[in-house]
Every structure is written in C-alpha cells, then in structure tokens.
C-alpha cells in the first residue's frame, strides 16, 4: 500500500478481532490528508475507538490487528517492530481518551505527566517544553496556567482534567490527533471554547485528526468529512454537509433525526409529584476548608426528576457526593423523607444506604476491572436484598435485559465492554438495590445518542411504573430538556436560578442561564462561529 501524497494516515482493509475471536472492525479503509478532520460516527460498539487505537498500531485489551495495513507519516505500522510503533506514539500521533481520570496517574503531578512525551522523545528542551505546556494551559483556559501543572489529578475538576489531557496529547506537537469523545466530560460553555481551540490548533499547525464521537452536532463544527460506522463496518461516508443534509442510509437518517429531536421544546412536568423526599436547606460543603457549595437550598419530590446543571466546577458533582454520603455538609440541614440524613454513609443504616443509590460519571473507574458484570450487579442484590444462588442469577439476567444487554454479559469483564455498555452495567447495579432516590451523575455522557435515548426512555418508564425519583446531574441540556420536571442552575457553588424546565428553557431570567442555553450545539455547520461571534459582542 502506498498512501496518497497528501495523506498523513492511510488505512486499508483494516480487520481487528477480540481475544474471543469476535470481529470488532471489518474491512475499514480511509485516508486522512494533512490538516483534515475525519469524524467517526456510530453507536457504542461500532468500532470507532478500536479504529482510533489501531491507527496508533495498538490493540486494546488483547485485541489484535488481524488484517489490513496502516501507514502513518510514511511508516507502515503493521509491519514495524514494537519499539518503532512506541516511538511514533506521542511524537507523530497522540490520543485523547474519553476518560481523563483513567488516563492520569493519581500519584503524579500533572506537569510531570504532560512533560513526559516531549522530553522522553527529545522533541524540545525542558524549558521549551514547560513554556509550551503553559501556553497550552492558557489556550485551554485552565486556571493559573503557570501553576496549574503543580496540582495532582484529584485536585482539579473533571472538566479541567479533560482539558489537561488535551494538553498532554498536544505536548509533542503530533501530526495526527485521535480525539475519542474529547468534549464528553465538558459542560456546554467550556465545550464551545475547546471546540474552537481544537479547530484553530489543527488549522494553525496543519495537524490531522480522527474525531470519534456520538454527538453529530459537535462533530459538525469541526469535521471536513464523516464516516458512519455500525457493527465494525462502514455504513456511509462523505463530506460533513453531504452526510448531515442528505444521508443515504436509514441508520444515518435515524442518527440525524434523533439529534434534531433532542433540540425540540422542553416537555414540562409529566406527572404530579408526591411528598418531599430530599430537602436541603442553607447547605455549605467543600474540601480541606475550601467551600464548594454555598448556601444551597433545594428539594426533590417523590416521583419527579430534578436536574442540576452548570459548568465544570459549579458544584454539581459535589452536591451529588453530599447526598450520597461521600461528603458531609459543613453547615445546613439535609433531610431525607422528613428525617435528618447522616452526613457520612458510614453512619447510615442499611435502609438508608439502600434508599439512595448513585450512578457515577465514569464507568471505567466505577467498575472493578477484575469483577465480572454478574458479580458487580450481584453484590448489591446480596447485600441489600439477600438474594443468593439461582435467585440472584435470575435477577441479574432480568436487570441486564432491563438495560438492554444480553444475559451472557454476566460472565464478561468490564474490559471486554464498550464505554456505553459499562455505563449501562452501572445503571443496573444501582437499580439492583431498588432505591427511593437515584442520583444520576452524567448518566448518559458516555452513550451514543440512540442508546442514550433508550436509557432515557427506560428512566421515564421506571418513573411512571415505580414512582422513581431522580436527582439528575448533567451538563447535557438536551437531556434535561427531555427528562427533567424541574431544573436547578448552579454557578460557582450557588444556585442562580430554578424552576419548571419548560419555563426555564423558554424564559430564563439569569444571564448565566441564557449563556448555558446559547451554548447547546445545534446541527448546523455555522453554529460554533455564531456563538463565538455573540460572545465577542
């Protein structure tokens, strides 16, 4: 194979198989010219991330490249030795993963990890590398660019850590970036800035990129071309305008239609809520003497969905941790079903622990990699409901069916599942306790739009049938629009606005709320430029 003259990456007839022999990618070919962005679109398990990793000559979790050829910057990776492939990573091609928390060593400062690539590859001097890192921090709008690198991963928010990972990938000034859901963990306001940065950086340095995502509106702002994937095969490809405006295949039309429907007007309250389940009054909370939540008061009624939205660092996840008993309040009152709620989960009885369950933002961190899916779901069944043996296995199978996974997944390890599949396992694990209040912390952020819509339907059905109550923490306002009865908007640890979702979306009072709503990506190519222009004014 010889790549076209202007291609920095060329793949021909790529075939990747899993350790069990399952074909993950089947016959994919693509060319990536210098300075171009190719968007890879498709549902969870379509092979998007597998293709991105294969472009680096790498197979995740024992997967292997069983056929085809990959040429990167003139080097044939499939025929190269392991040292050659490793030398290319970071210097010629770099990867931005979906989960920043899993990408960083928690025991090392950020600057040491970010500087590792340019220094080990000898790409620049230590002083030059540090100056470039600070420049990247500043471009990514990270706080205190000169001092930010001295922090450890746990000392920054999820959105800040995601941007730090982008700086780490760009530290070696690679020819190709593999961007695997790079804005999934970002709030909408930050996402606008990061998208603009990615687009401008790629244009400035002539970098090429594979942009892996399930969000068509996001990729429409950057990608020159799109390739739609399903079950490891190409469905269709073309320019971004062609695929979005005149999709040829039914599957692509479904993806486009779902994204347009997500921008429909908010539905408003769907049912009559019952008595107050959770009540917070004038609550302060924080870490190490520094307050994150300040004077927060809110209530959640039985059978309703209360959404909490805001940008990274606004206190959304801190609020979730407080309710779950992972962080005690410094001041204020927290009542659950009319009684004071102990601040620490260690002080809560079995009924209290069972009543409040949480689905975490990062499934690859939340699941034990050495526990099978059946073991992960079975533990709460045994702990909270006393199920053993055949009864527990039957309930595991029922919960897997409930969240759309086959029963044989019970025998698989998390490493053999996609990110979206692992998130659904986390949902089943939380449902296993039959809770009164389910805290959903970015529950659909790792899912492609079609599966995310299935999960939202499931949550609505459980609410209608069982009277489930949800505290929904998210930065995805399109999800809030479709699911939430009421919405609370947070900024810098305080509530700036709250009310019925339909009212808040149609007539927001606070300027910050208007900025959030203006930052929701729309399925048109000029959307990003329009938002940036309005911000300048």
Position 207 pLDDT exceeds 90: no
Position 190 pLDDT exceeds 80: no
pLDDT band at 269 (very low <50, low <70, confident <90, very high): low
Q: What is the pLDDT of residue 194?
A: 79
Angle, CA of 333, 337 and 338, to the nearest 5°? 55
pLDDT tens-digit map of 501-518: 999 999 999 999 999 998
CATH architecture of 7-261: 3-Layer(aba) Sandwich (3.40)
> Mean pLDDT throughout 112-134?
95
Q: What's the CA gap between 86 and 67, in Å, rounded?
A: 20
Mean pLDDT of the chain: 89
pLDDT band at 230 (very low <50, low <70, confident <90, very high): very high
Q: What is the pLDDT of residue 406?
A: 93
pLDDT tens-digit map of 325-356: 999 999 999 999 999 999 999 999 999 999 99
Segments making up each domain of the chain, as ranges: 7-261, 276-519
Q: What is the pLDDT of residue 106?
A: 93
Class of domain 276-519: alpha beta
pLDDT tens-digit map of 364-388: 788 999 999 999 999 999 999 999 9
pLDDT tens-digit map of 386-411: 999 999 999 999 999 988 889 999 99
pLDDT band at 533 (very low <50, low <70, confident <90, very high): confident
> Mean pLDDT throughout 83-102?
87
Q: What is the pLDDT of residue 42?
A: 87
Q: What is the pLDDT of residue 506?
A: 93
> Mean pLDDT throughout 40-55?
90
> Mean pLDDT throughout 112-124?
94
Which strands, in side-by-side order, build the sheet including 339-340?
290-301, 276-287, 331-336, 339-340
pLDDT band at 107 (very low <50, low <70, confident <90, very high): very high
pLDDT band at 273 (very low <50, low <70, confident <90, very high): low
CB neighbours of residue 527 within 10 Å = 18
Residue 135 corresponds to which tokens in the numbers above?
């420049």
Using a pLDDT cut of 90, give the percent of the chain over it: 59
Contacts of 81 (CB under 8 A, 6+ apart): none
Contacts of 366 (CB under 8 A, 6+ apart): 360, 426
> Mean pLDDT throughout 288-305?
93
User: Of 272, 307, 305, which Cα lies nearest the Cα of 497?
Assistant: 307
Q: What's the CA gap between 420 and 72, in Å, rounded?
A: 29
User: Of 354, 356, 361, which Cα lies nearest the Cα of 423?
Assistant: 361
Q: What is the pLDDT of residue 371?
A: 95
Q: What's the CA gap between 168 and 148, in Å, rounded?
A: 13
Q: What is the pLDDT of residue 270?
A: 54
Q: Helix H segments across 467-507?
A: 477-483, 501-506
- Domains 7-261 and 276-519 equal at CATH topology level: yes
Contacts of 91 (CB under 8 A, 6+ apart): 117, 121, 123, 172, 174
> Mean pLDDT throughout 38-59?
90
Q: What's the CA gap between 513 and 109, in Å, rounded?
A: 34
Position 3 pLDDT exceeds 70: no
The dihedral region occupied by 360, where left means phi > 0, alpha psi between -120 and 50, and beta the remainder, is: beta
> Mean pLDDT throughout 77-96?
91
Q: Alpha-carbon dihedral of residues 230, 235, 236, 242, nearest 10 degrees? A: -60
Residue 398 corresponds to which tokens in the numbers above?
């029922």
CB neighbours of residue 350 within 10 Å = 9
Residue 198 corresponds to which tokens in the numbers above?
């990615």
User: For residues 160 and 177, which has the higher predicted lDDT (pLDDT)?
Assistant: 177
Position 266 pLDDT exceeds 60: no
Q: What is the pLDDT of residue 524?
A: 83
pLDDT tens-digit map of 26-35: 999 999 998 8
DSSP-derived pairing of the beta strands 208-213 and 37-41: parallel
> Mean pLDDT throughout 455-478?
86
> Mean pLDDT throughout 76-83?
91
Weakest mean pLDDT among 20-24, 100-104, 493-497: 100-104
The CA-atom distances, in angstroms, between 436 and each of 49, 210, 342, 350, 473 are 36, 43, 16, 13, 17
pLDDT tens-digit map of 408-458: 999 999 988 877 788 889 989 999 999 999 999 888 876 767 777 777 887
């Amino acid at each position: 194979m010889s790549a076209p003259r202007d291609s920095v990456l060329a793949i021909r007839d790529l075939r990747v198989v899993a350790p069990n022999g399952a074909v993950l990618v089947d016959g994919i070919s693509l060319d990536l010219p210098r300075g171009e962005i190719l968007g890879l679109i498709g549902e969870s398990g379509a092979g998007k991330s597998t293709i991105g990793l294969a472009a680096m000559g790498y197979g995740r979790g024992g997967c292997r490249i069983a056929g085809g050829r990959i040429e990167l910057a003139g080097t044939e990776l499939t025929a190269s030795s392991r040292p050659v492939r490793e030398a290319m990573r970071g210097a010629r091609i770099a990867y931005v993963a979906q989960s920043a928390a899993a990408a960083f060593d928690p025991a090392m400062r950020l600057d040491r990890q970010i500087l590792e690539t340019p220094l080990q590859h000898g790409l620049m001097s230590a002083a030059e590398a540090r100056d470039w890192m600070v420049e990247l921090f500043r471009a990514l709008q990270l706080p205190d660019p000169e001092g930010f690198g001295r922090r450890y991963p746990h000392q920054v928010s999820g959105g800040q850590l995601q941007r730090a990972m982008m700086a780490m990938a760009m530290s070696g000034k690679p020819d190709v970036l593999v961007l695997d859901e790079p804005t999934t963990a970002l709030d909408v306001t930050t996402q606008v800035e990061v998208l603009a940065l990615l687009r401008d950086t790629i244009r400035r340095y002539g970098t090429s990129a594979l942009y892996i995502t399930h969000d068509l509106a996001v990729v429409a702002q950057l990608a020159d071309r799109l390739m739609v994937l399903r079950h490891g095969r190409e469905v269709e490809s073309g320019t971004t305008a062609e695929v979005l405006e005149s999709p040829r295949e039914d599957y692509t039309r479904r993806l486009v239609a779902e994204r347009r429907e997500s921008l429909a007007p908010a539905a408003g309250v769907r049912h009559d809520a019952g008595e107050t389940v959770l009540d917070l009054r004038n609550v302060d909370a924080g870490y190490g003497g520094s307050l994150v939540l300040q004077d927060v008061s809110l209530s959640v009624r039985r059978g309703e969905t209360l959404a909490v939205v805001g940008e990274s660092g606004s206190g959304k996840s801190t609020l979730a941790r407080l309710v779950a008993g992972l962080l005690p309040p410094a001041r204020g009152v927290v009542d659950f079903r009319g009684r004071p709620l102990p601040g620490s989960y260690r002080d809560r009885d079995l009924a209290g622990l069972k009543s409040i369950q949480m689905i975490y933002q990062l499934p690859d961190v939340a699941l034990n990699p050495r526990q099978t899916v059946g073991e992960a779901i079975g533990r709460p069944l045994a702990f909270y409901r006393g199920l053993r043996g055949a009864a527990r296995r039957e309930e595991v199978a029922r919960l897997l069916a409930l969240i759309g996974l086959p029963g044989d997944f019970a025998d698989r390890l998390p490493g053999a599942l996609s990110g979206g599949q692992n998130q659904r396992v986390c949902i089943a694990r939380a449902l296993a306790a039959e809770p009164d209040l389910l805290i959903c912390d970015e529950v659909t952020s790792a899912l492609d739009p079609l599966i995310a819509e299935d999960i939202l339907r499931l949550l609505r059905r459980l609410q209608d049938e069982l009277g489930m109550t949800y505290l929904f923490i998210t930065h995805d306002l399109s999800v809030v629009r479709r699911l939430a009865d009421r919405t609370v908007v947070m900024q810098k640890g305080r509530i700036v606005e709250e009310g019925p979702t339909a009212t808040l979306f149609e007539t927001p009072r606070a300027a910050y709320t208007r900025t959030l709503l203006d930052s929701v990506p729309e399925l048109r190519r000029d959307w990003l430029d329009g938002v940036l222009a309005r911000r300048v004014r």
